[in-house]
Amino acid sequence: MTALMKRELMSKQKLTIVKVGGKVVEEAASLADLLGRFSALDGLKVLVHGGGRSATAMAERLGIETQMVEGRRITDQSMLEVVTMVYGGLVNKNIVAQLQALGLNAIGLTGADLNYMQAVKRPVKTIDYGFVGDIVQVNVDELNLLLEKQVIPVLAPLSHDKQGSMLNVNADTIAAEAAVAFSEHFEVELVYCFEKSGVLEDADDDASVLSSLTYETFKGLQESGAIHAGMIPKLDNSFNAIKRGVSTVRITNIPGLQEGGTSLLAE
Ligand SMILES: Nc1ncnc2c1ncn2[C@@H]1O[C@H](COP(=O)(O)OP(=O)(O)O)[C@@H](O)[C@H]1O
Ligand SMILES: CC(=O)N[C@@H](CCC(=O)OP(=O)(O)O)C(=O)O
């Protein structure tokens, strides 16, 4: 029996999973600020990153057009090459190098590494998303061994189909699916860190942060249009994670990493 298994038998240890995306990843100063605060968090932790804007910028440099549908990137063969390079390479390794500089022993992984997360190519219904994956299996056993050795997993928004192809997956989904899988072993707090201070009652007023949110209120605010765009899948992912065993989900900005922002309430 490993030390980690022994501890689980006594009581579940806390694990913080921080997902960072949007502008925060793209701007060097905000990323450095975020990583500094992440490194100061106590206890076991995992970082999940996005980087959609960096992929769009790189695609543009290569003359490849970006097309998003309902917040998801249409990923044809050449876009798959771009996202594999940008998420699995540039963004991921830049974060790992910065965490190493901060004294954290980080390792960057896609779902193909250690086969920790497997997906299937999204079936074509009305829209063909191309090489976009829907998660079918998550196995965090090897990641648990890394955590036990004080290694910090840094998870990129990429999975694979176990038949040789990488697949593009939204970073919020990677964070939620990893959080659910880790919940079997840990008391998981999932923190979505982005550019606003939380879920806003009025998306244009940064001071209108809701300190807590139920599913019912979310659906009401969605209907009135106060919650829209990328915030809808983020909240759907978040409530789904709570339903499947994640202890706490918070949506916040960089200074709110430890506390603050919007806490989601189970019904
Ligand atoms: N009520 C709301 N509160 C906060 N953000 C909102 C709200 N409604 C819509 N949004 C938009 O949702 C975006 C976050 O979604 P998304 O861009 O997918 O996240 P990320 O920055 O993590 O990639 C915000 O930048 C904001 O423009
Ligand atoms: C399928 C799909 O849409 N994947 C996303 C993955 C990156 C991401 O989610 O980045 P942010 O968190 O910074 O938005 C994309 O390619 O844009």
Ligand 1 geometric centre to CA of 232 (Å): 8
52 annotated ligand binder: yes
Q: Which of 196, 219, 223 to mutate to test the pocket of ligand 1 (most atoms within 8 A of CB)?
A: 196
Q: Please name every residue paired with 187 in a beta bridge, in sequence order, or none if there are none.
A: 14
Question: 């910090």: which residue's tokens?
Answer: 152
**Residues framing ligand 1 (Cβ under 6 A):** 21-22, 50, 71, 194-196, 199-200, 203, 226-231, 234
pTM: 0.95
The mean pLDDT of the chain is 95
pLDDT in tens, 41-87: 999 999 999 999 999 999 999 999 999 998 899 999 999 999 999 99
What CATH number did the domain enclosing 66 receive? 3.40.1160.10
Helix 171-182 × helix 231-243 angle, to 10°: 10
Question: Where in the sequence is the domain holding 34, given as residue range(s)?
Answer: 3-264
Ligand 2 geometric centre to CA of 56 (Å): 10
Question: Could you give the dihedral angle defined by the CA atoms of residues 214, 216, 217 and 220, in that order, rounded to the nearest 10 degrees?
Answer: 160
- Asked if this assembly's ipTM is beyond 0.90, the reply is yes
Query: Alpha-carbon distance 3 to 110, whole Å?
Result: 26
Domain count, the chain: 1
Tokens at 201, concatenated: 């009652």
Ligand 1 geometric centre to CA of 98 (Å): 26
* Protein residue with least CA distance to atom 8, ligand 1: 227
Confidence bin at 2 (pLDDT 50/70/90): low
Q: Are 132 and 158 in contact (CB under 8 A)?
A: no
To which H or E segment does residue 222 belong?
Answer: helix 215-224
pLDDT in tens, 179-208: 999 999 999 999 999 999 999 999 999 999
Q: Is the pLDDT of residue 262 over 80?
A: yes
Return the pLDDT at 41.
97
Return the pLDDT at 7.
57
Distances (CA, A) of 124 to 33, 77, 127, 160, 210: 40, 16, 6, 18, 37
To which H or E segment does residue 105 belong?
Answer: strand 105-109
